[in-house]
Amino acid sequence: YAMGSKVGEVLLYYCYCEVKDPEKLCAWQKALCQHLHLTGKVRVASEGINGTVGGSKVATSLYIEVMLSQPLFKNILCQEDFKSSAGGAHCFPDLRVGVFKEIVPMGIDPKIVSYKETGIHLSPQEFHREVEQYLSQASQGQSDTILLDCRNFYESKIGQFQGCLAPDIRKFSYFPIYIDENLELFKDKRVLMYCTGGIRCERGSAYLRSKAVCREVYQLKGGIHKYLEEFPDGFYRGKLFVFDDRYAICSNEDIISACRYCGALWDQYKLCSSQHCRQLVLTCPSCCNKGLTACCPVCQEKELKVTSRASGQTLKEECECTRRRPRVPIERVSQRMLDTGKD
Query: Can you name the residues that pair with 281 across neighbouring β-strands?
Result: 270
* 114-128, 206-220, 260-274, 324-338: least confidently modelled range: 324-338
User: For residue range 303-334, what is the model confidence (pLDDT) as tens digits?
Assistant: 666 554 545 455 556 777 777 665 555 555 44
**Mean pLDDT value of segment 118-145:** 94
Neighbours of 105 (CB within 10 A): 15
Domain range annotation of the chain: 9-99, 120-246, 258-305+316-324
Q: Which residues contact 257 (CB under 8 A, 6 or more apart)?
A: 157, 158, 238, 265, 266, 267, 282, 343
Asked: is 9-99 a CATH 3.30.70.100 domain? The reply is yes
- Please report the pLDDT score of residue 341 as a whole number: 41
CB 92 within 8 A of CB 41: yes
- Please report the pLDDT score of residue 60 as a whole number: 97
What is the rounded average pLDDT for all residues in the chain?
89
- Residue 306, burial from CB neighbour count under 10 angstroms (0-12, 13-18, 19+): exposed
Q: Quick check: 30 pLDDT over 50?
A: yes
- Please report the pLDDT score of residue 320 as a whole number: 78
**Mean pLDDT value of segment 268-283:** 89
Give the pLDDT band (50/70/90) at residue 342: very low
CA–CA separation, 114 and 11 (whole Å): 25
- Please report the pLDDT score of residue 163 as a whole number: 95
User: For residue range 151-185, what is the model confidence (pLDDT) as tens digits?
Assistant: 999 999 999 999 999 999 999 999 999 999 999 99
- Please report the pLDDT score of residue 54 as a whole number: 97
b/e sequence 130-164, b meaning 16+ C-beta within 10 Å: bbeebbeebeeeebebbbbbbbbbbbbbbbbbbbb
**Mean pLDDT value of segment 328-342:** 47
- Please report the pLDDT score of residue 324 as a whole number: 67
**Which residue, among 13, 21, 64, has the nearest Cα to 42 in the 3D structure?**
13
CA distances from 74 to 15, 84, 132, 328 (A): 10, 21, 36, 39
Q: Quick check: 12 pLDDT over 50?
A: yes
pTM for this one?
0.86
- Please report the pLDDT score of residue 5 as a whole number: 47
User: For residue range 33-70, what is the model confidence (pLDDT) as tens digits?
Assistant: 999 999 999 999 999 999 999 999 999 999 999 999 99
CB 111 within 8 A of CB 101: no
Q: Quick check: 90 pLDDT over 80?
A: yes
Instruction: Name the residues annotated as catalytic.
Output: 195
Domain 120-246 maps to which CATH number in 3.40.250.10, 1.20.1560.10, 1.20.1050.10, 3.40.50.2300?
3.40.250.10
